[in-house]
Amino acid sequence: MEAKIAKPPVAAGGKPRFIGIDLVKILACILVVCVHFFLYSGFYSEPITKDFGQGPIFFRWAAYCCVPLFMITTGYLMKNKTLSKKYYLGILRVLIIYVICSIICYCFDMHHWPMKYDYQFGGYSIWIFIRGIFMFHDAQYAWYVEYYICMFLIIPFVNAAFNGLQNKKQKQIMLITTIVITIVSQSFFVGFKDATQIRLFPGYFTRCYPIAYYLIGAYIREFPPKRTLMNKLYFIMMYGIGLAWVSTTTYQQSMLNEENNFVMLSKHYNDYGSWPVALCSTMLFLVVFDIQSKNKTLITVVKFISEATFACYLVSYVFDSIYYAKFSIKYLTVAERCSHAYEVIPKVFFSAMGVALCIQAVYSICDWIIRKKIVPAVKTASTEEAAALDAVVEEAAPIEQNDAIDDEIAKLKNLFDEGVLTEEEYKQQVERMTK
């Protein structure tokens, strides 16, 4: 998520540069904001009817590719990372931005929801804030940070296993096996009745689906499909099939969900790790990831915005809380809110992105100062200090050597006085030592 694409085409001289990965991250961030619309609009508690539900369900599943897109992107960008000190230092950027966004969200809660922590924790405090950092509670969408840290720690070992395989076929087998036991297993059932359905594959590792998405990205990085119109049309078609399937089954199951007042129901697919979501996310990634551009301004802007998507995702909670409170008062029914989603979603995204760009700009400036000014100055000072120390050692060495010779000559004089050495032997050894 944070690394750069290896060997990208250079934009200088009119040559195109790949901006597709940056566009994927921006698209994923927009889709996150869209998914949160359904949470804050009350959609999940609204009964699905013949007159309401088909469009929102379709739009909801289209947006549900957001998190898998981030996970696939991580695999694409981090595929060649190896175990090293430099690699582990790469997590610092994520942690710093996470803490900054947590401070923003925590301060917002103190002002906007002054009673939020009173019942459970006895109010706001430094300890509760620090606890929230480690428990990933201060920033309400920080569950992704917890996932990313865990994934970051095992990436070098996943890469060693994947890159250590001898050929493409072996890597395909590893990828397919991981997808089956983590994604397909939790959402592939045979039978029509819940009580008698059969799950075809063991599902013990279903919560490990992020590894499957990571390997999908790594595989695409090593074996990218050809950039042809036919391939793109095929990817779009498969995306449409997956989206149509999950939307249709969800609508039908919701219409039969009488015991829960006909609210939205998807029995086996309502998870980022279900096979329709994995299919749609992979196809959408393949459509966008290799887009190129020759426009230097566009390249710079897209890259800068994509670097701010992480912070945008975290601070969007603040603007979700602000805008949806007013939006829900303006439109009293869920149907009205869904038909006016275009009013609130752009507000949340652009507001959050504005704050995120400021955070990213401050971080980039501080990072530049540390890398270009402070670190070289420290290295220069260390070099000068080492040189001065070497000079002192060099100056002291002859003195120490002369003192040692004098001690040896004194020992020889004692041996001569004691009659152990003759006068000739004494003179020869002294002459040899003083040369």
Contact between residue 1 and residue 311 where contact means Cβ atoms under 8 Å apart? no
pLDDT digits (tens, 9 = 90+) for 16-54: 788 999 999 999 999 999 999 999 999 999 999 998 989
Residue 251: which of 102, 44, 57 has the closest Cα?
A: 57
Residue 61: which of 27, 38, 40 has the closest Cα?
A: 38
Q: How high is the pLDDT of residue 111?
A: 82
pLDDT digits (tens, 9 = 90+) for 336-383: 999 999 999 999 999 999 999 999 999 888 888 887 766 665 556 555
Confidence check: pLDDT of 128 > 90: no
Q: How high is the pLDDT of residue 337?
A: 94
- C-alpha to C-alpha distances, 104 to 146, 147, 220, 304, 433, nearest whole angstrom: 18, 21, 37, 21, 75
Q: How high is the pLDDT of residue 280?
A: 96
| 245 exposure class (CB count in 10 Å sphere: 0-12, 13-18, 19+) | middle
Q: How high is the pLDDT of residue 430?
A: 66
pLDDT digits (tens, 9 = 90+) for 82-127: 999 989 999 999 999 999 999 999 999 888 877 766 656 667 788 8
pLDDT digits (tens, 9 = 90+) for 418-428: 665 666 666 67
Confidence check: pLDDT of 300 > 80: yes
Q: Which residue has the tokens 């979501």?
A: 277
pTM for the model stands at 0.81
